[in-house]
């Protein structure tokens, strides 16, 4: 197998159709509700039209939640409120319909796909469909060792790209992207700090279950130590993912890049998705035009990454859980924008009736 060259993605990714977007804007100006009266819904409808290459915009009828799962060795340091190696429990809760994202997905009738890239459990413990893209069991402790080998990082990126192709080929028209990980926010913060040139304290958040002050200090120290290992490899994004990422984060990066290649729009969830998007932006600067930031999770690293990509969150609900929950909450907003853009009638402009001449 030839070595993966991430720079190839930059040549393959085009921006959404600017001409179609201008047509969508012109159509919006002709509709019965004045432009601007619907706020960001106007912008969303026009963005979606450009992504689809269609005016009027088509309804979002086949969305799908895709969750990348993995355990991170850095969790052994007590940087997460969940025990190290317990991400498989999160996966089981989703598969059993007992997690928040599963409840919301049922309500919105959206299928959920879970992909195991690096869970720290026996592959036989989960359905074969979940584990068929697994790269390894767990990831290395990034403060003292690489998360992956370079070959494993390449395999994970390729797996993510293959999953994007599977979704595009199956007719998925919008992806709700999230993660199921333990220690993933720590790895994400390292990637963001490295790519934005900031210190550990600027990007260290409390995670999905709000760790206490002592755990936050441990997390900050772990990010600081991992940053020292990340900075020398900033020029090579594949090596960066191998050094301080993880198989789930590398796969999510490949997934985002290939979604942009396939012109498949993506709703980004929390800080992990934002970190992978930031790596993907470094690979292909046009790629973020295919993504929407679904919500503000309150994680400082997410805010830093979204600002760097000029992506503004659609919602601010204080959802810190991860697992795609915040992104799924934003899905109806995107669907509403599509419906309004497509179904609002255009104004009927009538000629003024000439006045009757005054009698002499």
- Active-site positions? 323
Output helix, strand, coil percentages for the chain, rounded to the nearest 5: 55, 10, 40
**What is the rounded distance in angstroms from the CA atom of residue 66 to the CA atom of residue 241?**
20
- Phi, psi (deg, nearest 5) at residue 126: -130, 160
106-113: which pairs have CB atoms within 8 A and are 24 or more residues apart?
108/328, 108/331, 108/332, 110/63, 110/64, 110/65, 110/176, 110/328, 110/331, 111/64, 111/65, 112/64, 112/65, 112/67, 112/324, 113/64, 113/65, 113/66, 113/67, 113/167
Of 187, 200, 180, nearest to 245 (Cα)?
187
């Amino acid at each position: 197998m030839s070595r993966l060259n991430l720079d190839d993605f930059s040549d393959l990714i085009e921006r959404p159709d600017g001409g179609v977007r201008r047509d969508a804007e012109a159509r919006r100006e002709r509709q019965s509700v004045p432009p601007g009266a619907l706020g960001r819904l106007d912008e969303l409808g026009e963005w979606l039209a450009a992504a689809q290459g269609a005016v009027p915009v088509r309804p979002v009828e086949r969305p799908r939640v895709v969750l990348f799962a993995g355990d991170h060795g850095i969790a052994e340091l007590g940087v997460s409120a969940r025990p190290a190696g317990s991400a498989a429990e999160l996966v089981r809760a989703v598969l059993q319909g007992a997690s928040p994202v599963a409840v919301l997905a049922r309500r919105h009738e959206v299928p959920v796909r879970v992909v195991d890239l690096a869970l720290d459990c026996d592959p036989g413990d989960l359905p074969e469909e979940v584990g068929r893209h697994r790269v390894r069991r767990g990831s290395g402790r990034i403060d003292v060792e690489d998360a992956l080998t370079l070959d494993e990082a390449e395999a994970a990126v390729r797996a993510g790209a293959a999953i994007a192709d599977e979704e595009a080929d199956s007719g998925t028209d919008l992806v709700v992207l999230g993660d199921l990980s333990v220690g993933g926010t720590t790895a994400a913060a390292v990637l963001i700090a490295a790519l934005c040139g900031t210190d550990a304290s600027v990007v260290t958040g409390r995670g999905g279950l709000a760790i206490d002050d002592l755990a936050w200090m441990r997390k900050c120290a772990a990010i600081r130590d991992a940053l020292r290992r990340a900075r020398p490899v900033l020029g090579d994004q594949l090596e960066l993912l191998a050094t301080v990422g993880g198989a789930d984060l590398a796969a999510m990066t490949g997934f985002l890049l290939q979604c942009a290649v396939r012109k498949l729009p993506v709703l980004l969830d929390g800080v992990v998705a934002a970190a992978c998007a930031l790596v993907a932006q470094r690979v292909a600067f046009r790629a973020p035009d295919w993504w929407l930031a679904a919500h503000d999770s309150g994680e400082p690293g997410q805010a830093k990454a979204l600002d760097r990509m000029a992506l503004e969150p659609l919602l601010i609900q204080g959802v810190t859980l991860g697992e795609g929950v915040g992104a799924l909450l934003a899905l109806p907003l995107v669907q509403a924008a599509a419906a309004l853009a497509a179904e609002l009638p255009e104004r009927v402009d009538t000629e003024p009736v000439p006045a009757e001449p005054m009698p002499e």
